[in-house]
Structure 1
């Protein structure tokens, strides 16, 4: 299951059924979970933990030290969950001590060709990052988010769960949950109602979220006033509560 030309450090922890392709390199302080498949010419550096049943395609760089000039060789980490697909030439970097020291990738995500995830980013579950998308340091992305090709995300931005960015979107401020964004800089264009339907949200919940979006974006209220008005509905509807929470968590201001 490990090709003869692959170089695997003797201290690396390799699970059952793991495949490591030709000319790939797995260094020390790396743990690879059961059933993960690593293609040819992949480099995995530690400290890195990769979960079960991931598939990593050729020329990916996993767990490399970050590009932050403050990085001074500290033993920071990358943690990857289960069932992710990481396509050709993706680069996933370890964290920095200026944050929590760890870059975290959840489970069931798809990283298309040439995606970059920088230091200390946190990506949830079931996300799709399309070709040439770049995630800067300290970015947090919620579950089920979809980022179209060549999306560029500024450091420290928060991208809410179930949100969606169109191709070529430049994200300079936070995107609340459910919001569809497009442009340079990103502007809101309604909620991701089709995605919500596919994920089993009820018509009533989608309507509540849509109405909450209108309060946030299409009324004359400030963000603080809109949040105050939405609090009673958020107490009754879990979907609206997620939207309100994502706005309250914003640190860079939300897209407008």
Structure 2
């Protein structure tokens, strides 16, 4: 009989061989540590897109400066009632800056000032808020009489108004070398100097007819601009009449009778 190891079989042994052991259970997969941060990032992006879409719709027609202020206030971490007052002040300042004031103007008509004394016109213009620049010119008008103003029409307050006024007629020197000239030459010289020539008469002279003998005021005199200068013209040499010869009759003496 061969030798061998012998073992008594039991029912449990038979059952163990007939049934296979179940496979080991699968291990649960571990989640990535970045899952929740990634989800939070997606939610933030969605909220930002939603806010960018809603804010223009809610603030349509409002002042851009007010919208910017409202956005900054919304993004503030802890908005309080106290911070609203500076924001309103900024909005008021912004609106004031965007509405420039129209400068005030005054209608100036030159006819209203012409012919009046300069001092009176200057006082009136200064009372209206203007600066006055007076300029004197020679004119036949009385001294101190306003002739014109510039600029005119609608003028802003604070502008400088140039006021031209008369310093009276200037003086002119009567040209020299007129005596002995022909009348036409004398008249042209006086007119060119701003004087008015006037013929006061004629008188006989050894000078040719039409020659100026004298002028008044005399040559070199200072006269007002536009003054009248009179002159006398030669009518030529005076005609002289020789006495007619009386015929002499022959005389007869006593001797001739015989």
* TM-score where L is the length of structure 2: 0.20
The higher relative CO (CA closer than 8 Å, separation ≥ 6) is in: 2
Structure number with greater Rg is: 2
Higher strand share: 1
Task: Identify, as 1 or 2, the structure richer in helix.
Answer: 2
TM-score, length-scaled by structure 1: 0.20
